[in-house]
Structure 1
Amino acid sequence: MKAPALMITCEHASNAVPDFVLRALRDSKIPDDVLASHRAYDIGAYKVFSNLVKRLKPDFHCSSRFSRLVVDMNRSATNKTFFSEYTVGLPSSVKSHMMSLWEKYREKIENFVASEIPARARKNEKNAPKEAPLKVIHLGIHSFTPILNGIERDADVGILYDPSRPAEVKIAQTLIQNIHERAPWLKIRKNYPYLGKSDGLTTTLRQKFGPSYAGLEIEINQKLLNF
């Protein structure tokens, strides 16, 4: 049986802002200190993503080119944080252009998953059996700020997944074991500092492709990263 395809993505890889957004913002541009902060992108995540791509040679990899303060590639279009406080008030024509950036990013990823899980093999997420032949393993690479709203995050690495999906539980356990073998001093927590079932790219792909897809997000504390 063919091994599952490996896909690695990085949704918050960059803090870049497209020129057409800069022109639309005019005097209300995003402050430089905000663009340099965790609010604009996942600091250090792209470096981890690049290293993993080189070492693991995944079947597919993809990273976002623009800041989440433009549009959040890891959120559904209906999410209230899809546009940031800086872009939510821009003209609809500009927002439509930003939306197209999100659509193109998502389309590339979904096209790859669809090539590995043909339509006849997909099952509705609600009605499908919990286990099915695994076709795609997706690792989304993220990082988190050590302190948020004055509270220190109590983890070095977080592994986010859906506990109701056996394949994701098994992969999460394997990841944790492998990390501990290489760096036993790291504190690793499951579904921390966010829940793996929250709105995001992995959630969307689970719904569209069923249990033949397994999506996990790896969250790394930025205090561990050199940037």
Structure 2
Amino acid sequence: MLVGVDVLSKAEGSCVAVERPDGRSPVFVVCEHASNLLPSRYGNLGLSDEALSSHIAWDPGALAIARGLSASLDATLVSQRFSRLIYDCNRPPESPGAMPELSEIYEIPGNRGLSTAEREARTRALYIPFHDRIETLVKERAARGQPTVLVTIHSFTPVYNGKPRAVELGILHDEDAWLADRMLAAAAEAPLYRTERNEPYGPKDGVTHTLKLHGIANGLYNVMIEVRNDLIVDEVSQGVMADYLSGLIRTSLDA
């Protein structure tokens, strides 16, 4: 589908949003699943409004938390402006999950049987610019002597495939657990939420792509934060969560 045409129109602009590019904090916040917006050329991918507002299309509340952290810490924030159903920027191009045909209980008709050309077009339009922008900003920070601590923000559903999830806050890491260890210790001292390591996902689920690509590969401290989305349904609860996470990060970095 759509081979030979642009994935994004000129009117839709860049796939990447950057806030506080000159933020002074070492913390560098990334939100890969910030939006459920679909490029206009793709219509609704054959999905209902209910499906497009659900977790399969984005991480509800994640951008609000990321913005809260950015404001509280004076941290640069990079977010993806389009839905992960078109391209999931926390997956490499070779991953089946990068452009899923099935997500949880939903089939994605508009992603069924994509040609190699279409997959490459989406990769060029969404994945490459997103990660190139992160890479460029991190290099610019290094050039001016500003350290970088990579923090990615996500949310997850309270029920998955019919099974309730007790965990409320997940602190995820791949092979580098330095920051995750400290955040888990800080959370144990201030246990506002049920917090667990590498839950409800972990490296085995392929969710640490951004951490590996920009954090581990560059020797940067890094962590992925997963928040259960029923805990961040409005501005008040989002503000509470952002304040709590800001506190954990500050405590961890001070330590």
Same fold, TM exceeding 0.5? Answer: yes
Q: Distance in 2 between matches of 1:5 and 1:111?
A: 15
Query: CA offsets per residue over residues 46-104 of structure 1, 9 Å max, x none?
Result: 1111111111111x210111111111011111111111213253455544432221111
1:122 aligned residue: none
Tell whether 2:98 aligns with 1:106. Answer: no
Q: How many residues align?
A: 198
2:7 aligned residue: none
- Match of 2:35, as an amino acid? S
Question: SS where residue 97 of structure 2 aligns?
Answer: coil
> Identity rate of aligned residues, in percent?
28
Q: Distance in 2 between matches of 1:105 and 1:145?
A: 25
1:152 aligned residue: 164
Query: CA offsets per residue over residues 115-165 of structure 1, 9 Å max, x none?
Result: 3457xxxxxxxxxxxxxxx94211100001011011111211000012x43
1:40 aligned residue: 57
1:49 aligned residue: 66
Please show how residues 185-224 of structure 1 align to structure 2 within 5 Å.
185-196=192-203, 198=206, 199-206=208-215, 208-209=217-218, 211=219, 213-224=220-231
CA RMSD of aligned residues (A): 2.5
TM-score w.r.t. structure 1 length? 0.77
Q: Is the 8 A contact 2:184 2:195 kept in 1?
A: yes
Q: Which runs of 5+ in 1 are unaligned?
A: 119-133
Q: Which runs of 5+ in 2 are unaligned?
A: 1-23, 102-107, 235-255
Please show how residues 1-227 of structure 1 align to structure 2 within 5 Å.
5-22=26-43, 29-58=46-75, 60-85=76-101, 86=108, 87-90=111-114, 93-99=117-123, 100-117=125-142, 135-162=147-174, 164-165=175-176, 168-169=177-178, 171-181=179-189, 184-196=191-203, 198=206, 199-206=208-215, 208-209=217-218, 211=219, 213-227=220-234
Question: SS where residue 68 of structure 2 aligns?
Answer: helix
Q: Is the 8 A contact 1:196 1:217 kept in 2?
A: no
Higher relative contact order, chain-length normalized (CA < 8 Å, sep 6+):
1
Query: CA offsets per residue over residues 6-59 of structure 1, 9 Å max, x none?
Result: 21011101100001222xx7xx5222111111111111111111111111111x
Q: Is the 8 A contact 2:216 2:222 kept in 1?
A: no
TM-score w.r.t. structure 2 length? 0.69
Question: SS where residue 81 of structure 1 aligns?
Answer: helix
- Match of 2:232, as an amino acid? L
1:178 CA drift (Å): 3.9
